[in-house]
């Protein structure tokens, strides 16, 4: 009887609470509907949805293009197009993806390759307000993956909600053509292909034109656009900085671990590759347009065969191979000048630039051979630096006083960091007055700390999305606190061209003489040429 009364009381309480429970289930932080988040663009009306008070639009087409042709404006539409999910991504080499395996890097990054289609010119927008006549800074994210892989939503922390909300900015990300679709120079095969060499970059220019034309309706300022991108994205931004076709389309640029080229691929090398691919496909001058209809897999396979053959031939001759792989080509249209040459620096003198790298980039994975065995590590250093081995180790401790583990001596980056310094020096010695340098040294505790400050490590911090990148960052309190500082710095730079923000010491502009560099870590600090001696030893004494 007592149990029966108890059950009856519980039922009565449940009945009384039922309206509140139903209301709680109906409440949502996502709103979508026919009349919600509607914006009129130059091509037609689009609708999105509202999530966490941020208006969100995904997969908006900014252009279309036939294969190997420059992008064109989108055909207008009359209805309201719902843009609530990510658009197509550029096709890529999935065999190359599988070759990476399912190792630590894949775990840390949680890659999502999307659905591929050649009609991939689309962008995503996150904004605190629409149709409100406000002029918020616009931040355009250009994804990494070299010039062959990646997309606007490949990594979970590319989501722009947090940046838009915390910084009152308009966040945009973009997809564009990559690999053989974006960088096959067919110019020798007819006038119709004269712009084919860099159509992947022409897509980015077209996206910028779309943004300038339409972003005011999304609450953004078309005269305050900041590009930021990492790895291949940083390389693409470098190309845009160097192209007269992008002149005036943006006001600020952040190059993150993207300074890996000292020059662009010579056209003769690109055309030699193209000729070999065309021959491999069995196409001749008379039927060259057939290349528009062969399958993507055939194109990709032909390119891989040609690259492999050219490398092998060069090795047999004892020669350096021509510049291979897909990427920007030095033509007389998109990239007519030397990289950061005099003409370029004069052209971009009013563009504020931030440039930097992470401390270890790919080095965290390079130390597994020696682990934390100091004897093996010293042997590896001696093999590489000979009689300067001890001098090298002293320079490491001087540059990074927190050096403790054996792996700390071998994990350092000597590719992206020197490239960033080289490009910054080119700019400032030729008169550019608003360049800022950073070095991200915070190390992840994930996987026994072996990730260190790996390539991409700063990204969850830039986007203030540490939780969305918990496999990379660990998701702890220290990471969240640093993310507020880093994302705040990027937001301030986008707002006024100066990255100084709360939580940082005074960050002064970079000069070749002083080398002011902001060190982002659990306790950030400004240092001057912090690793100059180390970089000089690595450059002059390395046997590789």
Q: Tens digit of pLDDT for each residue in 329-351?
A: 999 999 999 999 999 999 999 99
Q: Give which of 243, 237, 264 is closest to 327, Cα–Cα.
A: 264
**pLDDT score for 28:** 59
**pLDDT score for 21:** 43
Pairing state of beta strands 252-256 and 220-230? parallel
**pLDDT score for 191:** 95
Using an 8 Å Cβ cutoff, are 232 and 143 in contact?
yes
**pLDDT score for 95:** 80
**pLDDT score for 297:** 96
Neighbours of 232 (CB within 10 A): 22
Q: Give which of 271, 269, 295, 268 is closest to 281, Cα–Cα.
A: 295
- Exposed, middle or buried, 338 (CB in 10 Å: 0-12/13-18/19+)? middle
Q: Give which of 263, 270, 222, 302 is closest to 423, Cα–Cα.
A: 263
Q: Is a pLDDT exceeding 50 seen at residue 120? A: yes
Percent of the residues in the chain that have a pLDDT greater than 70, as a whole number: 93
**pLDDT score for 101:** 61
**pLDDT score for 18:** 47
Using an 8 Å Cβ cutoff, are 178 and 145 in contact?
yes
pLDDT, mean of residues 80-92: 97
Split at pLDDT 50, 70, 90, the class of 543 is very low
Split at pLDDT 50, 70, 90, the class of 364 is confident
Q: Is a pLDDT exceeding 50 seen at residue 42? A: yes
The residues annotated as belonging to the active site are 231
Q: 142 has which bridge partners?
A: 174, 229
Q: 99 lies in a domain?
A: yes
Claim to verify: residue 375 and residue 481 sit in the same structural domain: yes
How many domains does one find in the chain?
A: 2
> Which of residues 237, 256, 275 is at a domain's end?
256
Which has more confidence, 11 or 505? 505
Using an 8 Å Cβ cutoff, are 361 and 257 in contact?
yes
Claim to verify: residue 209 and residue 355 sit in the same structural domain: no
Q: Is the dihedral of CA 252, 257, 259, 260 positive or negative?
A: negative
pLDDT, mean of residues 358-368: 85
Query: For the segment 461-504, what is each residue's pLDDT rounded down to a tens digit?
Result: 999 999 999 999 999 999 999 999 999 999 999 999 999 999 99
DSSP annotation of 526 reads: E
Q: 166 lies in a domain?
A: yes
Claim to verify: residue 244 and residue 353 sit in the same structural domain: no
Percent of the residues in the chain that have a pLDDT greater than 90, as a whole number: 84
pLDDT, mean of residues 136-163: 97
Q: 318 lies in a domain?
A: no
**pLDDT score for 540:** 82
> Between the CA of residue 225 and those of 89, 249, 351, 479, what are the distances in Å?
23, 8, 10, 28
Q: What is the CATH number of the domain that holds 356?
A: 3.40.50.1820
**pLDDT score for 7:** 53
Claim to verify: residue 352 and residue 246 sit in the same structural domain: no
Phi, psi (deg, nearest 5) at residue 232: -60, -30
Name the least confident of 49-63, 185-199, 321-335, 454-468.
321-335
31: alpha, beta or left? (left if phi > 0; alpha if psi -120 to 50): beta
Query: For the segment 15-26, what is each residue's pLDDT rounded down to a tens digit?
Result: 444 454 444 445
Q: Give which of 449, 457, 356 is closest to 404, Cα–Cα.
A: 449
Query: For the segment 381-436, what is each residue's pLDDT rounded down to a tens digit?
Result: 999 999 999 999 999 999 999 999 999 999 999 999 999 999 999 999 999 999 99
Split at pLDDT 50, 70, 90, the class of 34 is confident
User: Across 62-114, where does the E strand assignment appear?
Assistant: 81-82
Q: 379 lies in a domain?
A: yes
Q: 295 lies in a domain?
A: no
CA distance 215 to 125: 9
**pLDDT score for 320:** 77
Q: Give which of 456, 462, 452 is closest to 487, Cα–Cα.
A: 462
> Between the CA of residue 498 and those of 182, 333, 436, what are the distances in Å?
33, 32, 8
**pLDDT score for 541:** 67
**pLDDT score for 6:** 54
> Which of residues 208, 233, 256 is at a domain's end?
256
**pLDDT score for 14:** 46
Split at pLDDT 50, 70, 90, the class of 9 is low
Q: 314 lies in a domain?
A: no
> Between the CA of residue 402 and those of 398, 477, 520, 521, what are the distances in Å?
9, 21, 14, 11
CA distance 281 to 485: 52
Claim to verify: residue 203 and residue 351 sit in the same structural domain: no
Q: 300 lies in a domain?
A: no
Q: Give which of 121, 280, 271 is closest to 200, Cα–Cα.
A: 121
Claim to verify: residue 441 and residue 536 sit in the same structural domain: yes
Tell the residue number behind the tokens 């953004």, with chain if given.
Answer: 220
Query: For the segment 161-205, what is each residue's pLDDT rounded down to a tens digit?
Result: 999 999 999 999 999 999 999 999 999 999 999 999 999 999 999
Neighbours of 133 (CB within 10 A): 8
CA distance 160 to 123: 12
pLDDT, mean of residues 146-175: 97
Q: What mean pLDDT value characterizes the chain? A: 92
Pairing state of beta strands 220-230 and 265-266? unpaired
**pLDDT score for 368:** 76
**pLDDT score for 506:** 98
Q: Which domain holds residue 393?
A: 342-541
> Which of residues 201, 221, 256 is at a domain's end?
256
Name the least confident of 59-63, 316-320, 447-451, 540-544.
540-544
Split at pLDDT 50, 70, 90, the class of 148 is very high
Split at pLDDT 50, 70, 90, the class of 2 is very low
Claim to verify: residue 431 and residue 529 sit in the same structural domain: yes
Q: 22 lies in a domain?
A: no
């Amino acid at each position: 009887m007592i149990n029966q009364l108890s059950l009856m009381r519980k039922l009565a309480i449940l009945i009384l609470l039922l309206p509140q429970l139903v209301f709680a289930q109906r409440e949502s932080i996502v709103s979508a509907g026919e009349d919600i988040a509607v914006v009129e663009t130059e091509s037609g009306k689009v609708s999105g949805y509202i999530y966490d008070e941020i208006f969100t639009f995904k997969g908006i087409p900014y252009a279309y293009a036939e294969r190997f042709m420059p992008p064109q404006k989108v055909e207008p539409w009359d209805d309201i197009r719902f843009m609530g999910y990510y658009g197509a991504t550029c096709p890529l080499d999935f065999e190359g993806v599988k070759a990476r395996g399912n190792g630590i890097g894949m775990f840390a990054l949680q890659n999502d390759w999307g659905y591929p289609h050649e009609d991939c010119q689309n962008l995503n927008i996150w904004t605190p307000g629409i149709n409100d006549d406000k002029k918020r800074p616009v931040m355009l994210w250009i994804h990494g993956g070299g010039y062959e892989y990646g997309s606007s939503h490949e990594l979970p922390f590319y989501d722009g909600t947090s940046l838009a909300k915390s910084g009152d900015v308009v966040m945009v990300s973009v997809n564009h053509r990559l690999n053989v679709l974006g960088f096959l120079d067919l110019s020798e095969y007819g006038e119709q292909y004269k712009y084919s060499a860099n159509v992947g970059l022409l897509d980015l220019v077209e996206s910028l034109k779309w943004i300038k034309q339409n972003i005011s309706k999304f609450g953004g300022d078309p005269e305050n656009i900041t590009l930021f991108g990492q790895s291949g994205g940083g390389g693409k931004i470098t190309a845009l900085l160097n192209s007269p076709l992008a002149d005036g389309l943006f006001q600020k640029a952040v190059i993150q671990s993207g300074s890996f080229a000292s020059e662009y691929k010579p056209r003769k090398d690109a055309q030699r590759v193209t000729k070999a691919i065309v021959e491999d496909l069995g196409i001749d001058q008379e039927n060259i347009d057939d290349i528009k209809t062969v399958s993507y897999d055939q194109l990709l396979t032909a390119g891989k065969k040609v690259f492999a053959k050219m490398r092998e031939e060069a090795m047999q001759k004892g020669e350096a191979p021509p510049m291979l792989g897909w990427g920007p080509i030095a033509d007389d249209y998109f990239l007519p000048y030397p990289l950061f040459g005099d003409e370029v620096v004069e052209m971009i003198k009013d563009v504020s630039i931030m440039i930097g790298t992470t401390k270890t980039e790919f080095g965290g994975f390079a130390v597994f051979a020696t682990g934390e065995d100091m004897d093996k590590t010293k042997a590896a250093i001696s093999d590489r630096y000979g009689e300067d081995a001890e001098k090298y180790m002293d320079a490491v401790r001087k540059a990074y006083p927190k050096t403790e583990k054996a792996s700390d001596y071998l994990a350092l980056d000597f590719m992206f960091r020197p490239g960033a310094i080289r490009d910054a020096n080119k700019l400032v010695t030729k008169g550019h007055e608003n360049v800022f340098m950073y070095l991200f040294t915070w190390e992840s505790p994930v996987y026994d700390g072996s990730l260190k400050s790996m390539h991409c490590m700063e990204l969850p911090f830039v986007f203030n999305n540490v939780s969305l990148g918990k496999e990379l960052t660990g998701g702890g309190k220290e990471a969240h606190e640093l993310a507020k500082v880093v994302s705040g710095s990027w937001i301030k730079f986008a707002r006024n061209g100066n990255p100084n923000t709360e939580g940082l010491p005074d960050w002064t502009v970079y000069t070749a003489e002083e080398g002011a560099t902001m060190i982002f870590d659990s306790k950030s600090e400004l240092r001057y040429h912090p690793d100059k001696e180390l970089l000089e030893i690595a450059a002059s004494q390395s046997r590789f």
